[in-house]
Amino acid sequence: MTDTVRTTCPYCGVGCGLLVTPGGERTVTVAGDPDHPANRGRLCVKGAALPETMGLEGRLLHPVVDGRRASWEDALDRVADGFRAAIRAHGPDAVAFYVSGQLLTEDYYVVNKLAKGFIGTANIDTNSRLCMSSSVAGHSRAFGSDTVPGCYEDLELADLIVLVGSNTAWCHPVLFQRIEAARAARPAMRLVVIDPRRTATAQEADLHLPLRPGSDVALFNGLLAFLAGRGVVDRDFVGRHTHGFAAAVAAAARAAAPADACDLDPALVTRFYEWFASTPRTITVYSQGVNQSSSGTDKVNAIINCHLATGRIGWPGAGPLSLPGQPNAMGGREVGGLAGTLAAHMDFTDDNVDRLRRFWGSPSVAARPGLKAVDLFQAVRNGRIKALWIMATNPAVSLCDSGLVREALGTCPLVVVSDAMEATDSTAFGHVLLPALTWAEKDGTVTNSERVISRQRRVLPAPGEARADWWIVSQVAARLGFGAAFPYRSAADIFREHCRLSGFENDGGRDFDLRGLTGVDYDGLVPVQWPVSAPGQETRRLFGNGGFFHPDGRARFVALRARPPRAAVSADWPLLLNTGRIRDQWHTMTRTGLSPRLSAHSPEPCITVHPADAAAFGLSDGAMARIESPLGGIVMTVVLDDAQRVGEVFAPMHWNDRFASAATVDRLIACHTDPVSGQPELKAAPVRISALPVAWRGLLLSRSTPGTPDPGVVWSRSAGRGHVVTRLCGERPAADWLEWLRALCGPDGDWLHYEDRRQGIFRAARLLDGRPDVVFFVSPRGDAWALDWLGDLGRAGDLPPEGRAALLAGGVVRNNARGPVVCACHHVGRTAILDAVARQGASSLDDIGRLLGAGTGCGSCRPELRRLMAGARAAPVTAVPGTHD
Ligand code: SF4
């Protein structure tokens, strides 16, 4: 236990504490930290699977310049020379930085200081622009600062939880576990979910409002008018601590009937309004469904308006609470990672710019906001940006109109990418690649969604020549002539400067204040919630008694008019595409895509379609479909689900060119942005869908990653246990399957194969030193191949003769009793769960846990288990006979 390190999960904004114990050879064990306030020992499946992502496969381990290995000296010189030349020739705004909520606060601070403080450009933006910038803008409009008023404990103290645009059960799973536990302890608590889809979260709700996408402002305007009409207004709070109430209510009252505007049953809307009105302890939690919209900032303010009107803010169990997606989106906000903000939560006023000039000792602090992400890449495309440095993010996949991003990167004279991974869709465009540390190698701090700062600590040594991002930036700063201002020897040095700046000339007029941490023991820092104006003075909640950060100390109501999404469906583009996360993947899969456990739940890119739309467009469950927008097309497998509204489809944001031939969904999405926050509308893109004719389907398991199939083949890749799984299909079978396969996997080894050309069946295996190294199956429609059985072949020793026969006979491999994995912790599939209900009489989660273990690990699958069980009870199934599973 002495080697165990307390650190923080690198995935979502919940910011769970972890106990990580190194085991040698880059292995670790991971457990939830029982002392961390965010999770109290809990973990979700992503955190629990971190040990599967520790390998060095695919890591960038040394600098690369123009495609060739380089020394650090040469690489850093090339970056500095390129940036210096661009600045000299075209001015500081000719360079830009695109950074990430994956960076630690210290890394973020240093790069922001270099860009805004010394180069003198505010052309630094972050992928958090795509995630929560509408919340930042909404907070600033209402509160005068980007302040999160409440904390996670409010979820347990509330009597009514309203989740808006948040699939919390999948995207912030440990918070959902906390909600579930609180509801179990106090069944009178109510949960309302407002989301166009009946997500895993919505199915757990007491009330689900499947509203029309983008209509949230109408719904909350209606609520504000309802509260005012019923007299459910805290007149004292409104009178003493706010401005603009009457105008906001008047604007809300002028709006159309909310049920019509939101396409909702009026009775459901009234029930929600009555519950809200009658429940003083109400917390409204919102996430990407609110933020990723062309009216995202208005949605945030529509929610905050209702909390200000009722004075339900900053009290136990009451308030608005935004949930950012990334582990350190909040830390980035604190250091001014967004183009429109300065360090320490300051904005671009003359006083703040002057304050920074004096604190940093730099005459060249940027004096006006820079380009937000979408505008920044357009400026790269237009040639205004001559040198771009991307850190810890993958905009060629994750930004809207990612085709344009790729064009921009392809034309930029100097693209620098700092990344832990060698081959991402974005590193492909890098003239200079700089190897960065990743989770378990880095040292620094992160801030979670409730303002708790936690340490991420180093567990493993730096591999190869990888370095900390703050070190890399400081080295370039020195080469640009700013070395004296970047003298850092450790992350602790940077943290202390960050704390000092937060308190510099801060008389309480700025919310972000870490003065109390300036002299703290950095190595021993325990999770602490800001503001911390003096040692030991944490702040759970703000604004319960006013004290907002507008100059007059009052909050602002915002008068709002609902606006639909910028692009509407039409005869040519009849479906609205929503994008988002799936349960077990993270961002562009560079880390989670390595984990067999995380790849088991949704191993291939799928588009979810309502059965009525499927009938209208000639699609069936499991068929391949082409999805197109005016910007391009992708191919995914169809999943039918009536949890989807008719006329709307959903696709995951994760897949990219490393994991699939054509499934980068952001290629379809135009860059319509919110006029205040600049956040792109990633959840409402008009598309069309059509069946993709497929003559054959194949499954390839290989110990190493095979080559890329020819362009006519649709493929996707996922991690298996000791092997890579590639799913393939195409319109025309290969003329010679064995030749085709040998071209893909290499000709070596002892090849076995069986072919029935008439039936379109081909099976082959390659033995290397007597052990199965590749297995490949083709049939016209694909079979339910027993993936685990096949995968275990790869881990077996010599294959006995009967194994060879079984491999090629096909019978053995067609009976996959498990079905899609539901419980990733215990590897329990859908079929086994249905079987337990049908044959063994399982009627509760406890029964399923006792019989199969499912749902007893991290708990992320529990909503899905309930749904499956409810479905099975409603429509009893005939269980599939068990075989090898
Ligand atoms: Fe990590 Fe899961 Fe906790 Fe998010 S909820 S921080 S992904 S363990």
Nearest to 86, CA basis, from 399, 379, 468, 427: 379
Q: Residue 418: what are its φ and ψ, rounded to 5°?
A: -95, 125
Q: Count other Cβ atoms within 10 Å, centred on residue 123.
A: 27
Angle of helix 216-230 relative to helix 245-254, nearest 10 degrees, comes to 110
Q: Which residues contact 195 (CB under 8 A, 6 or more apart)?
A: 163, 164, 165, 166, 167, 201, 202, 208, 209, 210, 211, 289
- Check if 43 has its Cβ closer than 6 Å to any atom of ligand 1: yes
| For residue 786, pLDDT beyond 70 | no
Q: Name the band, by pLDDT with cuts 50, 70 and 90, for residue 788.
A: low
- Check if 598 has its Cβ closer than 6 Å to any atom of ligand 1: no
Per-residue model confidence as pLDDT tens digits over 841-881: 888 888 888 888 888 877 778 888 888 888 777 665 443 33
The residue type at 872: A
| For residue 571, pLDDT beyond 60 | yes
Element (H, E) at 65: strand 64-65
**SS3 for 821-883, per residue?**
EEECCCCEEHHHHHHHHHHHCCCCHHHHHHHHCCCCCCCCCHHHHHHHHHHHHHCCCCCCCCC
Q: Which of residues 842 and 684 earns the better pLDDT score?
A: 684
- The angle subtended at Cα 790 by Cα 787 and Cα 791, nearest 5°, is 80
- Check if 169 has its Cβ closer than 6 Å to any atom of ligand 1: no
Per-residue model confidence as pLDDT tens digits over 339-374: 999 999 999 999 999 999 999 999 999 999 999 999
- The number of CA neighbours under 13 Å toward the Cβ of 38 is 32
Q: Which residues contact 387 (CB under 8 A, 6 or more apart)?
A: 82, 83, 86, 94, 95, 96, 412, 413, 414, 416
| For residue 585, pLDDT beyond 90 | no
Q: 47 alpha carbon to ligand 1 midpoint, in Å?
A: 5
Q: Which residues contact 850 (CB under 8 A, 6 or more apart)?
A: none
105-114, 538-547, 762-771: which range is least confident on average? 762-771
User: Where do the DSSP E strands lie in 731-851?
Assistant: 750-756, 761-768, 771-779, 821-823, 828-829
Q: Are strands 575-580 and 648-652 parallel, antiparallel or unpaired?
A: parallel
Interatomic CA distance for residues 33 and 36, integer angstroms: 6
Q: Which residues contact 64 (CB under 8 A, 6 or more apart)?
A: 70, 75, 430, 432, 433
- Check if 14 has its Cβ closer than 6 Å to any atom of ligand 1: yes
Lookup: tokens for 433: 């690649």
Handedness of CA 73, 75, 78, 81 (dihedral sign): negative
Q: 156 alpha carbon to ligand 1 midpoint, in Å?
A: 18
Per-residue model confidence as pLDDT tens digits over 131-179: 899 999 999 999 999 999 999 999 999 999 999 999 999 999 999 999 9
Residues in the chain: 885
The residue type at 842: A
Angle of helix 830-840 relative to helix 845-852, nearest 10 degrees, comes to 110
Q: 44 alpha carbon to ligand 1 midpoint, in Å?
A: 6
Interatomic CA distance for residues 19 and 9, integer angstroms: 10
Q: Is residue 401 left, alpha or beta, with left meaning phi > 0 and alpha meaning psi from -120 to 50?
A: left
What is the b/e burial string over 625-652, where b = at least 16 CB atoms within 10 angstroms of the residue's CB? bbbebebbebbbbbbbbebbbeebbbbb
| Predicted local confidence at residue 553, as pLDDT | 97
Nearest to 122, CA basis, from 379, 496, 302: 379
Biggest alpha carbon–alpha carbon distance for the chain: 85
Interatomic CA distance for residues 301 and 223, integer angstroms: 13
Element (H, E) at 74: helix 72-90
Nearest to 460, CA basis, from 438, 486, 475, 481: 438
548 near 554, Cβ under 8 Å? yes
Helices marked H in 194-295 = 216-230, 235-241, 245-254, 258-262, 266-277, 288-291
> Hey, which of 7, 16, 155 would you mutate to test ligand 1's pocket, going by the most ligand atoms within 8 Å of its Cβ?
16
For ligand 1, what atom is nearest to the CA of residue 45?
A: 2
Q: 440 alpha carbon to ligand 1 midpoint, in Å?
A: 15
What percentage of the chain reaches a pLDDT higher than 90?
79
For ligand 1, what atom is nearest to the CA of residue 172?
A: 5
Interatomic CA distance for residues 174 and 658, integer angstroms: 29
306 near 275, Cβ under 8 Å? no
For the segment 305-318, the average pLDDT, to the nearest whole number, is 98
Please tell me whether the peptide bond between 196 and the residue prior to it is cis, using omega within 30 degrees of 0.
no
| Predicted local confidence at residue 875, as pLDDT | 65
Interatomic CA distance for residues 134 and 292, integer angstroms: 8
- Check if 16 has its Cβ closer than 6 Å to any atom of ligand 1: yes
For ligand 1, what atom is nearest to the CA of residue 44?
A: 2
Interatomic CA distance for residues 883 and 302, integer angstroms: 55
For ligand 1, what atom is nearest to the CA of residue 327?
A: 6
684 near 213, Cβ under 8 Å? yes
For ligand 1, what atom is nearest to the CA of residue 47?
A: 8
| Predicted local confidence at residue 583, as pLDDT | 85
781 near 697, Cβ under 8 Å? yes
Per-residue model confidence as pLDDT tens digits over 428-476: 999 999 999 999 999 999 999 999 999 999 999 999 999 999 999 999 9
For the segment 819-830, the average pLDDT, to the nearest whole number, is 79
